[in-house]
Structure 1
Amino acid sequence: MLKKNEIESNQTIIDKAGNKIWNFFSSLKLIITVFLTLAVVSIIGTVIEQGKPPDFYTKEYGEKIAHYVLSIGFHDMYHSWWFLILLALLAANIIVCTIDRFPQKWETAIEKKYGAEPRFIKNLANSAHFTVSGDVHDIKIKVAERLKKKRYKIINADAADGASIYAWKGVIGRFGSDVTHVSLILILVGAIIGNFWGFRGYVSINENDAVNAPQADFKVRLDRFWIDYYNTGEVKQYNSLLTVIDNNKEILTKQIYVNEPLIYKGTWFYQSNYGVAYDRIREAQLILKNKKENKQIGEPFKVKWYEPFKIPGTNLTVNLVGFISDFGFDEKTKQIYARSLEHNNPAIAVVIYDGDKPISDSWLFLNYPDVFATIPNSDYNLTFMGYSGLYYTGLSVNNDPGTNIVWIGSILMTVGFIFAFMIFHKRIWVNIKRGENGVDIYMGGMINKNKILFEREFSELVESLKAKWEVGK
């Protein structure tokens, strides 16, 4: 078994080690170092684009620098282990400093020092002494009333040779820094939760289409996209009418625009951009021509997307089944593709039926109307004359489970600043004693901050009391 002195020695070592650890986390050097490091790496994180694939950094910075960027984690800095450690050190410093200082603040806040002697009062930063005539009890009541008018809380006590008053207000101001520290911890926690468990994404939706919301169990449909204009012709606002579909039910419909998102189940949908779809249209305008004379037959007609249209005066039906905004054809692979998202070479895919029998499946071109225009086994050509594009909307999607925590932290921080910079702990002691020439009133006070303000307030209080008893007149 360990001897008593050995146990005490081991306990001393543990205590010393604990004190060193505590002093480390509460040190000013630590917080300065962490702040400077966070400032430097934040600048680096701004300069180096985040979340790109490894090849991007090799092309951008060269193989050697890219190796260091990827090894250290500067490419995804805010998810790196060392950045999390920096935040943990910052949080630990805030917590330890708060715990270190809180007991003394609390003791000062709840302490009710009444019955102070004149010698104590005279040594205060703000003090006064004057003599009045009257009854000690009545004087005590009048002084207490004046303090209450100034919204002080008071405790008074009677003694054999006089009375005393202790007055205070603004105790909560002492805890402004503590509330701010708690708010910082909440903001850090919320940011970490959002950083690791939230997501940011993008989704584009064609009009009348619905897509699955990223990392969610519901769909979003674009009912309509439109642009509002000023009288001058300048764009006023881009609008999307969205409907949320959850469990096959339409839950809500909302018009969104810039800075007015749709919010559902913690997921935010912001208006980001828009365009005309490259792979789909609303309808195509076609004309039927006589094959021999290449003359138009009847009026132009419109065919809607995937809605078969029977051409008047014929047994032919046209179905619009495909669209490419910039048609391209790879001769090696024999594959059709879109060369770009621009509408440089629009082409539509149509299926033509003679009665119920499909007789043609071909592409028609806006810029080359005679190419593939012939309808097999018929006397007609079909010509692509124009189309009505289909808008799509681009939505920025954001789900941050830490947002509410950050908001609570931000509100608490505001409250903490109000406590710290607008509310001050003021204390006043009054000793009332019967003397040889009347009743002596000793008054003194102190404040935890803004001493100049308190000096003026204390002086006005003393002068108002002197005026009440016409002291000095």
Structure 2
Amino acid sequence: MNKVKCECGHLNPFGTYLCESCGKPLKEDGNQLANMRYEGVARRSQTYRKSIVDKIWNFFSSVKVGVWIIVLTLIGSSIGTIFPQEMFIPPGRPASVYYYEEYGTLGQLFYQLGFHNLYSSWWYMLLVAALGVSLVIASIDRFVPLYRALKTQRVTRHPGFMKRQRLFKNTDQVSEPGVKIKKASDILKKRKYNVREENGNLLAEKGRFSRWGPYVNHIGLIIFLIGAMLRLFPQMYLEDHIWVREGQEVEVRGTGGEYSVRNDNFLIEFYDQEDERFREGLERSGSDVVKTYQTTATLFRQSSETIGAGEKEEVKQHQIRVNDPMTFEGFSLYQVDYKLNELAEFTFALEEIDGDSEGLEDVTFDVNLYDPESSYEFDNGYRVEIYDYFPNFTFNDDGEPSTLNRIPDNPRFIFEVFEPGEEEGELSFVGIQLNEALDPDNEYRLRMVDFDTNNVSALAVRRDRTLPILILGGVIFMIGLVQGSYWHHRRMWIQERDGELWVAGHANKNWNALKKDFEYLSEKTGIPVPDDQTDEKEEEAGTDEGVREDDGPAK
């Protein structure tokens, strides 16, 4: 759209209310006081409304839209706190099962709607992204015209601009107005005002930097939101769990096989029931209370060139406790849970069903419940194969045998026993207190004769490279908050017109401080204190017709 040329020669963007240079009102709105919001300049969202880009820009630049996005985000965040997030539920328990068993139908609905992983769900990230876009567009829409208007403002302002200021007064003929203005300049400089003079007129300005406080806030928020969204990427943020059994070495997730950790020993201590200091509390609890539990762990590293082959280098050993993690290369291993006496190994013996087991005395074998072998062969020619294995046995929705997970809490086996030289075997279903022949003509059965257990430690694997970004965003936000809250932008215009002194003033907030500066200036120079035209209008109409200025996009 065509720019609007003021009588002072300055070209203003279409839709400008006050000339950016001299302040002349370019539109008559019938108000006595000037709308100084954003210095009366045109904003893109209020000027261009035709193309699809204009409509998207106008939508996201709206304060109401920004507020609604914040409200929806807060509502979603609040619902996400009703039940614990998935990262805080007991490790090893499927989320789909845990929420229903612990919280019933509401828990199941919580899980199905994705609130169990709220902060990484697509719709929550979409709200965060929309909020970021709104902050960027709203800030640009307001910052650019405000900065341009403040940068191009002239010292000598149009009479219409002066008369429309909230603080304004023009005097009768005064003697030596230039001397008074010069004296005012010296006094205001001592009060830390930035003073500019032009053709005998004066503009004193102080605290302009406070006008940028809301936009510094927005920069901090945008950086913070970027940090929050980067948590979706595993290279930036990782939250996982690993179960490590005593004597076992497992890969640390997220390291690409470069690091592994071994559980050398798991230690757990309980409070002494006989200790007088704790007896009352322990009696109320009705059970043993853990005093401390720790995992003595050794960290190993294998170079990226030899992953999967070669010797591993021992990096460090650490006693991992709840608040004392093992840290390395940006990773932290926290002690979060444990399991005592988990089933680790079964010992089976082969015998005949009719009780005559002559020649089978040595047919015993150990089955590792974590990683069982597929076949066990014996010197007498007998062979036992694992036809199927269910570490945590259950029936699925179709009524077929299945397993909840790979943890051997309720192990069941389908064994196939082969006689020497035979190609067809006998199937039997074996588990804890269970030994069923799958064929009534079976001659052999497998009997569990011994078992072994192991202590298991749960370690949380965490890596957070977004934390510096979040801290940076928070620091910048606080700087903007202090900048915009504890300082304010004050301006004084003093002009000589045909022997009269015209005095006007404007503040984006804290008008009392500006009035006190005018009173001090009046005491020293005799320049009259301008009248507050808002008070005059209140007396005449009983209402406040003044325009309150707020440069921030109010996000």
With the length of structure 2 as denominator, give the TM-score of the two structures.
0.50
Is the 1:121–1:444 Cα contact (8 Å) retained in structure 2? Answer: yes
- Could you tell me which amino acid in structure 1 is paired with residue 225 of structure 2? L
Relative to total residues, which structure has the larger helix share, 1 or 2?
1
Classify the secondary structure of the residue corresponding to 1:15: coil
The answer to whether the aligner puts 1:406 opposite 2:470 as a matched pair is yes
Query: Offset of 1:417 from its aligned partner?
Result: 0.8
Relative to total residues, which structure has the larger strand share, 1 or 2?
1
Q: Deviations over 1:25-54 (max 9, x none)?
A: 233443343333323322332224443432
Matches within 5 A, 1:374-413: 396-413=460-477
Is the 1:192–1:402 Cα contact (8 Å) retained in structure 2? Answer: no
Match of 2:134 among 82, 93, 103: 93
Classify the secondary structure of the residue corresponding to 2:205: strand
Query: 2:318, 2:168 → 1: CA distance?
Result: 65
Matches within 5 A, 1:331-346: 334=448, 336-337=450-451
Is the 2:259–2:300 Cα contact (8 Å) retained in structure 1? Answer: yes
Q: Deviations over 1:300-340 (max 9, x none)?
A: xxxxxxxxxxxxxxxxxxxxxxxxxxxxx967652654679
Query: In angstroms, what is the RMSD of aligned CA positions?
Result: 4.8
Residues matched between the structures, number: 346
Q: Deviations over 1:166-222 (max 9, x none)?
A: 222222222222222222222222112114432223457899998654322345689
Classify the secondary structure of the residue corresponding to 1:39: helix
Q: 1:177 to 1:200 in 2, by over 3 A?
A: same
Match of 2:193 among 152, 175, 179: 152
Match of 2:143 among 102, 114, 118: 102
**Partner in structure 2 of residue 55 of structure 1:** 97
Classify the secondary structure of the residue corresponding to 2:144: helix
- Could you tell me which amino acid in structure 1 is paired with residue 66 of structure 2? I
Q: 1:168 to 1:57 in 2, by over 3 A?
A: same
- Could you tell me which amino acid in structure 2 is paired with residue 44 of structure 1? I
The answer to whether the aligner puts 1:46 opposite 2:86 as a matched pair is no
**Partner in structure 1 of residue 220 of structure 2:** 183
Query: 1:57, 1:279 → 2: CA distance?
Result: 26
**Partner in structure 2 of residue 452 of structure 1:** 512
- Could you tell me which amino acid in structure 2 is paired with residue 454 of structure 1? L
Query: Offset of 1:414 from its aligned partner?
Result: 0.7
The answer to whether the aligner puts 1:31 opposite 2:83 as a matched pair is no
Query: 2:196, 2:316 → 1: CA distance?
Result: 59
Match of 2:492 among 419, 422, 428: 428
Q: 1:237 to 1:209 in 2, by over 3 A?
A: same
Matches within 5 A, 1:4-403: 15-51=50-86, 52-60=94-102, 66=108, 69=110, 71-116=112-157, 120-127=161-168, 136=178, 139-157=180-198, 159=199, 163-197=200-234, 198-202=237-241, 212-216=251-255, 217-218=258-259, 263-270=327-334, 334=448, 336-337=450-451, 396-403=460-467
Query: 2:526, 2:262 → 1: CA distance?
Result: 77
Query: Offset of 1:105 from its aligned partner?
Result: 1.6
Q: Deviations over 1:104-137 (max 9, x none)?
A: 221233133202366644542224567876683x
Classify the secondary structure of the residue corresponding to 2:504: strand
Is the 2:166–2:505 Cα contact (8 Å) retained in structure 1? Answer: yes
Classify the secondary structure of the residue corresponding to 1:199: strand
- Could you tell me which amino acid in structure 2 is paired with residue 463 of structure 1? E
**Partner in structure 1 of residue 416 of structure 2:** none
Query: Offset of 1:446 from its aligned partner?
Result: 0.8
Q: 1:142 to 1:190 in 2, by over 3 A?
A: same
Query: Offset of 1:413 from its aligned partner?
Result: 0.9
Query: 1:116, 1:144 → 2: CA distance?
Result: 17
Percentage of identical aligned residues = 27
Structure 2: 5+ residue runs without aligned partners?
A: 1-47, 87-93, 279-289, 304-311, 345-430, 436-446, 528-555
- Could you tell me which amino acid in structure 2 is paired with residue 400 of structure 1? D
- Could you tell me which amino acid in structure 1 is paired with residue 82 of structure 2? V
Query: 2:520, 2:323 → 1: CA distance?
Result: 51
Classify the secondary structure of the residue corresponding to 1:424: coil
Query: 2:168, 2:515 → 1: CA distance?
Result: 10
Query: 2:511, 2:148 → 1: CA distance?
Result: 21
Q: 1:77 to 1:105 in 2, by over 3 A?
A: same
Classify the secondary structure of the residue corresponding to 1:107: helix
Classify the secondary structure of the residue corresponding to 1:46: coil
Query: 1:49, 1:105 → 2: CA distance?
Result: 45
The answer to whether the aligner puts 1:466 opposite 2:526 as a matched pair is yes
Q: 1:453 to 1:398 in 2, by over 3 A?
A: farther
**Partner in structure 2 of residue 304 of structure 1:** none
Q: 1:75 to 1:209 in 2, by over 3 A?
A: closer
Query: 2:525, 2:315 → 1: CA distance?
Result: 68
Query: 1:442, 1:179 → 2: CA distance?
Result: 35
Q: Deviations over 1:355-379 (max 9, x none)?
A: xxxxxxxxxxxxxxxxxxxxxxxxx
Query: Offset of 1:412 from its aligned partner?
Result: 1.4
Classify the secondary structure of the residue corresponding to 1:457: helix
Classify the secondary structure of the residue corresponding to 2:80: helix
Is the 2:110–2:116 Cα contact (8 Å) retained in structure 1? Answer: yes
Is the 2:83–2:107 Cα contact (8 Å) retained in structure 1? Answer: no
With the length of structure 1 as denominator, give the TM-score of the two structures.
0.57
